[in-house]
Structure 1
Amino acid sequence: MYKVHCLNNISAKGLELLDENYQLTDNVEEADVILVRSANMHEMDIPANLKAVARAGAGVNNIPLEKLAESGVAVFNTPGANANAVKELVLAGMLMASRDIIGGVQWCRDNAADENIGKAAEKAKKQFAGTEITGKTLGVIGLGAIGKLVARAAEALGMKVVGYDPYSSAEKAAEISPNLVYVENLADLYPQADFVTIHVPATPATKGMVSAEALAQMKDDVVLLNFARDTLVDDAALTAAMEAGRVRAYVTDFANPAVMQMPRAIVIPHLGASTEEAEDNCAIMAVQEVMAYLADGTKTHCVNM
């Protein structure tokens, strides 16, 4: 009997898959399996019987991979399970940055008591006029599970898509879409893109990759979207670029004090994967990964061994 402890709320759709060989426990110290979403495990003591950890999500920055590997504990993630949810929010982010939807909604709320709000709105609407995304160019950095969905959706909306991924190739990019323009370095992507969206993991190599140098290569009035990790962007460099008027908007799923002070920042409270469907998909995949591993050693999405 394997005992399973959940460090966060895990969708019942996943937990329902656990058969008679598994039992949920509230005591982490007796866990054979840990299921986790966002809880920070770096300061945790490793349970003596722990055999596997599964994260219901793609990023594993909250899990001490090397420490667990040294203890023989396999760590799994669920790449792609929440990709559609993130893709949809990226599209929403582009629209919010292009059309001042937030400003318009706020105007209506601020003027809710005006009995003639309909007429007033007709006069006020010009201050919220925006631009369309059809015909614009989207630069997609990272053509993995999320990036490829964003690329296809953007094309469906009439955008030209330029893609970059150091682990891909022109041939692989063509499988995403024959119209996707693949470039081998970011210096070729930045000058073309009206919108730049980042879909890469947070690693020492990608930390601060959106630097002053990178921002200087981008088009004036570019819209930058970050639904990957906040550490990918150099906040000081971006603040300077925005204050200089070179960046139209920064749409990010990661709030921090620096971002909250940026002009024209659209800040979302990490909602990328926050849909019922995504949480169900991640939980199901996490449980399946663990059960397959404990049944016969299968390591489909093991990230530390």
Structure 2
Amino acid sequence: MYRIKTFNKISPMGLNRLEPEHYTYSDNETDENGILVRSAKLHDYPFPASLLAIARAGVGVNNIPIDRCSESGIAVFNTPGANANAVKELVLCAMLIGSRDVDGGIQWVRQQVESGVDITTVVEKGKSAFVGPELFKKTLGVIGLGAIGSLVANVALDMGMDVYGYDPFLSVDAALRLDRHIHVVKDINELYKRADYITIHIHYTEKTAHMIDEKAISAMKRGVRFINLARGEIVDDDAMLAALDTGRVATYVTDFPNNRLVGAPHVVAMPHLGASTPESEQNCAIMAVDQLKDYLENGNIRNSVNFPSVSMERSGVMRMCIIHKNVPAMLANITTLLSKDGVNVENLSNKSKGDYAYTMVDLGSKVADDVIEDVKHLPNVIRVRVIE
């Protein structure tokens, strides 16, 4: 029986996949084996020794102490792509409201009515203040061509836009999702100088913090409309506000409001609506639960942010899962210990990611407890788990 602790509200569509004969789940579980979380901050949460994995029903994991998890042998999963359609649709909305000043027009209409004016008498004259360009035949720059960015790029092409994309880490799978008419550039400045609209879809890391700074903005086309549905910290607020004052940036649409931005002209600030749809919440919950279950029951890792992806069909009578440092001779040391017990290795997979590696071994017979203990005490081994 696995115990799952929930933080935040997790969609029942996901929770219902936790069979009651194998799982208990609630927000007050103790000595939990797994955690399901959305936005709750876990940095100060004391992890029990029993905790094996954390699944984030969403993409960003800045609310989870990744380094502490890795050092403790706790796998951390996220759900890339599960909310991609929801964010894609909001990008389209952001381009339109950033271009046509729909928000300003709606507020103006309400102000006229509240002041006692017959709105029908002033609409035709007043609307000129909210005129903006069409998207058709304009150029969109997409920074980050993953699950979300590729969808945005393709749909913008369908709307008659010219699309430039930039992603220094473009995967083969992502490249195959892109329409062949999208211009993928290797120099981000090529995108900056051409784009009438720019939208970013990258992770927030130390390297991407304030990536959109004064230098980046100065390389952009004058009057660009910039959309940030990724993370607020990727954009330097000081540089963006200065660019809005000079007209270098015509409009800044952000899903990450703060008091400075909300009070500034030409800023459209939304309350983090990117993935706020019932469908997105359901998709994220289902994906998070499925990944958590597969790891707990089979040791398979999919979409982990701290450990490599490793998946094998079950064979043999016992599976040993070993999280260890990514150092030489680990695999040889592990198999040497197993061979001493005369156990046949039926299948094995070993992969690394950064400083860490993961080894799964399917064995033809059960391993003695003392051999398992020997593996646990090997230098650079972090965690050993046996699944029968």
Match for residue 9 of structure 1?
9
Shift of 1:172: 6.0
Verify: 1:218 aligned to 2:220, yes or no: yes
Shift of 1:256: 1.7
Match for residue 56 of structure 2?
55
What is the SS of the residue equivalent to 2:149? Answer: helix
CA separation in 2, counterparts of 1:260 and 1:115?
Answer: 27
CA separation in 2, counterparts of 1:105 and 1:213?
Answer: 34
Shift of 1:115: 6.6
Shift of 1:28: 4.4
Shift of 1:68: 1.0
What is the SS of the residue equivalent to 1:122? Answer: helix
CA separation in 1, counterparts of 2:195 and 2:172?
Answer: 18
> What are the Cα deviations for residues 223-263 of structure 1, in whole angstroms up to 9, with x where unaligned?
01000011111111111111112110000000123322432
Verify: 1:109 aligned to 2:110, yes or no: yes
* Residue ranges of structure 1 left out of the alignment (5+ in a row): none
Native 8 Å contact 2:145 2:174 kept in 1: no
Native 8 Å contact 1:32 1:52 kept in 2: yes
What is the SS of the residue equivalent to 1:30? Answer: coil
Match for residue 132 of structure 2?
130
One-letter identity of the residue aligned with 2:131: A
Match for residue 265 of structure 1?
267
Native 8 Å contact 2:150 2:177 kept in 1: no
Native 8 Å contact 1:169 1:182 kept in 2: no
Native 8 Å contact 2:3 2:29 kept in 1: no
What is the SS of the residue equivalent to 1:112? Answer: helix
One-letter identity of the residue aligned with 2:18: L
Counterpart mapping for 1:182-221 below 5 A: 182-221=184-223
* Residue ranges of structure 2 left out of the alignment (5+ in a row): 308-388
Match for residue 337 of structure 2?
none
What is the SS of the residue equivalent to 2:142? Answer: strand
One-letter identity of the residue aligned with 2:266: R
One-letter identity of the residue aligned with 1:27: N
- Of 228, 232, 246, the match for 2:230: 228
What is the SS of the residue equivalent to 2:276? Answer: coil
Using structure 2 for the length normalisation, give the TM-score. Answer: 0.76
Native 8 Å contact 1:85 1:278 kept in 2: yes
CA separation in 1, counterparts of 2:128 and 2:259?
Answer: 31
Native 8 Å contact 1:155 1:161 kept in 2: yes
CA separation in 2, counterparts of 1:286 and 1:26?
Answer: 16
Native 8 Å contact 1:81 1:281 kept in 2: yes
Native 8 Å contact 2:195 2:220 kept in 1: yes
One-letter identity of the residue aligned with 1:107: W
> What are the Cα deviations for residues 169-211 of structure 1, in whole angstroms up to 9, with x where unaligned?
8996464111100110111110000001101001111111101
Shift of 1:123: 2.0
Greater Cα radius of gyration, structure 1 or 2:
2
Cα gap change, 1:171 to 1:21, in 2 (>3 Å): closer
Shift of 1:3: 1.0
> What are the Cα deviations for residues 67-109 of structure 1, in whole angstroms up to 9, with x where unaligned?
1121111111000000000111111000001111111111221
Native 8 Å contact 1:37 1:55 kept in 2: yes
Shift of 1:40: 0.7
What is the SS of the residue equivalent to 2:250? Answer: strand
CA separation in 2, counterparts of 1:246 and 1:126?
Answer: 22
Match for residue 328 of structure 2?
none
Match for residue 40 of structure 2?
39
> What are the Cα deviations for residues 266-300 of structure 1, in whole angstroms up to 9, with x where unaligned?
00010100000000000000000000111111101
Using structure 1 for the length normalisation, give the TM-score. Answer: 0.96
Native 8 Å contact 2:146 2:174 kept in 1: no
Match for residue 168 of structure 2?
166
CA separation in 2, counterparts of 1:174 and 1:301?
Answer: 19
Match for residue 285 of structure 1?
287
Cα gap change, 1:280 to 1:175, in 2 (>3 Å): closer
Native 8 Å contact 1:144 1:199 kept in 2: yes
Q: Which moved more, 1:81-90 or 1:257-266?
A: 257-266
Native 8 Å contact 2:37 2:56 kept in 1: yes
One-letter identity of the residue aligned with 2:239: A
The alignment's C-alpha RMSD in Å is: 1.6
CA separation in 1, counterparts of 2:298 and 2:163?
Answer: 42
Native 8 Å contact 1:293 1:299 kept in 2: yes
Native 8 Å contact 1:197 1:226 kept in 2: yes
Identity %: 50
One-letter identity of the residue aligned with 1:293: Y
What is the SS of the residue equivalent to 1:18? Answer: coil
One-letter identity of the residue aligned with 2:126: A
Structure (1/2) with the larger strand percentage:
2
CA separation in 2, counterparts of 1:261 and 1:147?
Answer: 29
> What are the Cα deviations for residues 38-57 of structure 1, in whole angstroms up to 9, with x where unaligned?
01111111123111100000
